[in-house]
C-alpha cells in the first residue's frame, strides 16, 4: 500500500505544468494539498484515462489512488507520478485516510462539487476534525486556458464534426427523420476519427427548433421549411466541439430570413469583440443588445456561450452575470438564438479561440443563407 516512487520515469510535461499551476492555487487557498475526485480533472493533471481513481496533489508529491485493474495502465499513462494501488476489498476511503495520515497533512482541500457526501463522511470519520476543507473549481479554473496540445485536440474535434456534417448535408432528403439524421451524423463523425458525439445530437425540424434542447423525434425533415442541427464530436484525446447550423429545407420565408439575419448579426458582432481583457458579460451584452433592438430580447433566454474542452460545457461562461475576463487560450462557443414557440427557432453556434491580440474562429461550416439551402 505504500506509494511506489518512480522518479526515474520521464515526466508528462503538460500535466506537470498544470500541477505546478494548481499548487499556486492550493497555496492561495492556504491549503497543503488538494484531493481531486473529478475523473476529468484527474486525467487533466496526470494523463491517466482510467476510472474510479483519485489524486492527491501536495507540494512535494503527486499520488494517484487507483486499484489493481488499472495497475498497468497507470504505469503506462503516468509513469512520472506515484501510485497507491488498492487491492480488491480495500475501500477508497481507507486508502485515502491512511495516505493522509502517513503524510501528516492537516489542511486538505476536496472538490466539493464532485466528492460525494458519503465518501466525504467516510474519510472525515478517519481523520482529525477540520482536516478536509471544501474547495470549488480550482482545477476547472486552470482548464479554462488551453495549452497548445489541447487546442490541437479541439481543432481535431471540430474537423471531425465538420467533415461529418458535410457528408450529412449532401445526404439529407425530405423523408429522413430527425432521429435518422442524428444517427447518420454521429456515425459519419466516428468514421472521420471521432470517439463519438460530444452530446446527444439535436436535429429539430421547424417548430421543434423552438426548444433549445430538443431531442430528435420521428418527424421528417421535409415537414417544415428548416431544420436546426446542434452537434459536436469528441476527439480521440477527449476534447469536445460544439456547433449549430440552421438549414433551409424549403422556402426561406421573409420571417425566417429576418430572424436568421438578426441572429447572425448578433453572433458576428459578439465574435468581433472577442479579445483578451474583455469581460464575458460584455461579449454577451453585445449579442443581446442586437437581439433586443430587433424586439426579440425576451426570446433569447440562455447565455451567449460556454467554454469547451474535456467537458462540453465548461468555463468560461459567456452570460449576463459572468465577470470572467477573457484570456489568450480560452476557447468559447458563441451561440445566440431566437426562439418563437409555435414557429420555431434559430441558433448559430461557432467555436472561437481567444488569441494574444483578438480571436480566431476555429469552425468553418458556411452560414450564408444561400449556401445553407437545399431541397
Ligand atoms: Zn451546441
Ligand atoms: Zn453550445
Give the pLDDT score at 253.
Answer: 85
> What percent of the chain shows pLDDT beyond 70?
95
User: Considering the domain boundaries, does residue 29 fall inside one?
Assistant: yes
Residue 200's domain comprises 148-371
Task: Tell me, in angstroms, the distance from the centre of ligand 1 to residue 210's CA.
Answer: 14
Task: Considering every ligand atom shown, identify the ligand nearest to the alpha carbon of residue 201 and give its number.
Answer: 1
* 29 and 92 inside one domain: yes
Q: At residue 331, what are phi and psi to the nearest 5 degrees?
A: -125, 120
Task: Considering every ligand atom shown, identify the ligand nearest to the alpha carbon of residue 232 and give its number.
Answer: 1
3-state secondary structure of 359: strand
> How high is the mean pLDDT of the chain?
93
* 200 and 256 inside one domain: yes
Q: What is the pTM of this model?
A: 0.93
Task: Tell me, in angstroms, the distance from the centre of ligand 1 to residue 213's CA.
Answer: 9
Residue 370's pLDDT band (cuts 50, 70, 90): low
Mean pLDDT across the stretch 42-60? 95
Task: Considering every ligand atom shown, identify the ligand nearest to the alpha carbon of residue 243 and give its number.
Answer: 1
Task: Considering every ligand atom shown, identify the ligand nearest to the alpha carbon of residue 161 and give its number.
Answer: 1
Tell me the three cell numbers of residue 213. 434542447
Total count of domains within the chain: 2
* 41 and 157 inside one domain: no
Least reliable range by pLDDT among 38-47, 84-93, 137-146, 151-160 = 84-93
Give the pLDDT score at 7.
Answer: 40
Q: At residue 10, what are phi and psi to the nearest 5 degrees?
A: -70, 145
Give CA–CA dist 59/27, Å, rounded: 9
Of the residues 106, 123, 143, which one is the last residue of a structural domain? 143
Give CA–CA dist 45/28, Å, rounded: 19
Task: Tell me, in angstroms, the distance from the centre of ligand 2 to residue 1's CA.
Answer: 43
Q: At residue 137, what are phi and psi to the nearest 5 degrees?
A: 70, 25
Question: Who surrounds ion ligand 1 at CB < 5 A?
Answer: 230, 242, 244, 349
Amino acid at each position: 500500500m505504500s506509494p511506489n516512487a518512480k522518479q526515474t520515469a520521464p515526466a508528462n510535461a503538460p500535466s506537470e505544468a498544470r500541477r505546478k499551476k494548481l499548487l499556486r492555487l492550493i497555496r492561495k487557498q492556504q491549503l497543503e494539498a488538494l484531493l481531486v475526485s473529478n475523473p476529468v480533472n484527474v486525467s487533466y493533471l496526470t494523463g491517466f484515462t482510467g476510472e474510479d481513481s483519485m489524486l492527491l496533489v501536495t507540494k512535494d508529491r503527486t499520488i494517484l489512488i487507483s486499484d489493481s485493474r488499472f495497475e498497468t495502465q497507470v504505469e503506462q499513462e503516468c509513469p512520472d507520478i506515484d501510485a497507491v494501488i488498492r487491492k480488491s476489498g480495500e475501500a477508497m476511503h481507507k486508502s485515502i485516510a491512511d495516505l493522509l495520515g502517513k503524510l501528516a497533512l492537516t489542511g486538505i482541500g476536496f472538490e466539493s462539487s464532485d466528492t460525494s457526501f458519503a465518501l466525504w463522511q467516510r474519510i472525515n470519520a478517519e481523520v482529525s476534525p477540520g482536516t478536509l476543507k471544501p474547495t470549488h473549481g480550482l482545477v476547472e479554473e486552470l482548464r479554462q486556458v488551453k495549452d497548445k496540445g489541447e487546442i490541437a485536440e479541439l481543432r481535431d474535434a471540430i474537423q471531425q464534426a465538420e467533415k461529418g456534417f458535410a457528408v450529412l448535408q449532401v445526404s439529407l432528403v425530405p423523408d429522413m427523420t430527425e432521429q435518422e439524421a442524428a444517427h447518420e451524423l454521429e456515425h459519419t463523425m466516428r468514421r472521420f476519427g471521432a470517439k463519438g458525439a460530444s452530446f446527444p445530437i439535436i436535429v429539430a425540424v421547424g417548430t421543434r427548433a423552438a426548444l433549445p434542447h430538443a431531442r430528435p423525434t420521428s418527424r421528417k425533415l421535409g415537414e417544415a421549411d428548416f431544420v436546426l442541427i446542434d452537434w459536436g464530436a469528441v476527439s480521440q484525446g477527449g476534447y469536445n466541439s460544439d456547433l449549430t447550423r440552421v438549414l433551409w429545407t424549403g422556402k426561406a420565408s421573409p420571417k425566417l430570413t429576418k430572424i436568421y439575419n438578426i441572429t447572425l448579426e448578433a453572433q458576428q458582432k459578439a465574435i468581433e469583440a472577442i479579445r483578451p481583457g474583455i469581460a464575458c458579460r460584455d461579449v454577451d451584452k453585445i449579442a443581446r443588445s442586437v437581439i433586443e433592438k430587433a424586439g426579440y430580447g425576451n426570446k433569447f433566454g440562455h447565455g451567449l456561450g460556454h467554454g469547451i474542452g474535456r467537458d462540453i460545457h465548461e468555463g468560461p461562461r459567456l452570460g449576463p452575470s459572468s465577470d470572467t475576463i477573457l484570456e489568450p487560450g480560452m476557447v468559447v462557443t458563441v451561440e445566440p438564438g431566437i426562439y418563437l414557440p409555435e414557429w420555431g427557432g434559430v441558433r448559430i453556434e461557432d467555436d472561437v479561440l481567444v488569441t494574444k491580440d483578438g480571436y480566431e474562429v476555429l469552425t468553418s461550416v458556411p452560414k450564408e443563407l444561400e449556401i445553407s439551402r437545399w431541397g
